[in-house]
Amino acid sequence: DAVSTGLATLRDELPLHLADVADHALGRLLILPAEHPEDVALETRRPRVQSTPVLPAWMPPSRILGGFHVMRPLGFGAVGSVFVACRVEDRTQRHPVRFALKVPEYGGDVAHTLSQDEFLELFREEAHALLAVPQHPNLARLVTFDAGARPKPLLVMELVEGPTLQRLIDTRVLETDRVLAILDGVAAGLEAMHAIGVGHLDVKPGNVILRASE
């Protein structure tokens, strides 16, 4: 039909690095609704059962990394961990300014391909590249990095509050205008990075965060 044809045309016109994001987001618009509308409502409202994240064994008892105090885990991946943190001097405040603390993890598959020195050098290169990225409304801002922090080096980023695009896709509640606006924001952020020769290298719905204010 006209909607399917229009979406397919749009997808073909997108740059290659946005193709997968478009497939996930636009593809949901072509899914037929559930036989009973109330099934969709139940699916989107049902609370997800999640286990409480546990701090890694290497975390100091003080939970202080560099000049930051870890408040809680945010996520764990194959090459690193992310925590919500605040500055050490602000940790007793009721509502401290919070940051996303990214800690690279040397081990697993990475250890089979890179020495620890090579891994740390890549970390420094990434940090310097992020420092060169201009502030942009569609990019999380790098606050600072500390390659000499103990027990592990760290990147401190702006904490973007809101759901991921993947979570929005999973609700199956997406309108064409909303999808196009999201893709436009993703493209604008990538354009700002590419303008100074920096690539994201891992663009996917789970790495696109929709600001809660938007």
State pLDDT tens for residues 45-68: 333 444 556 888 889 999 999 999
With CA atoms as reference, report the closest residue to 195 among 126, 129, 141, 122: 129
Query: In which band, very low, low, confident or very high, does the pLDDT at 22 lie, cut at 50, 70 and 90?
Result: very low
Average pLDDT of the chain to the nearest whole number: 77
CATH of the domain at 126: 3.30.200.20
In a domain, 59, yes or no: no
Q: Which residues are catalytic?
A: 202
167 and 186 part of one domain: yes
Query: Which residues fall within 8 angstroms of residue 104, CB to CB, at 6 or more apart?
Result: 79, 80, 119, 123, 152, 153, 155
The reply to whether 27 falls in a domain is yes
Count H helices and E strands in the chain, helices first: 7, 6
Query: 171 in a domain, yes or no?
Result: yes
The range of the structural domain enclosing residue 132 comes to 64-158
Q: Are residues 148 and 83 in the same domain?
A: yes
**Is 54 part of any domain?**
no
3-class DSSP state of 100: strand
Residue 125 — very low, low, confident or very high, per pLDDT cuts 50/70/90?
A: confident
Number of domains comprising the chain: 2
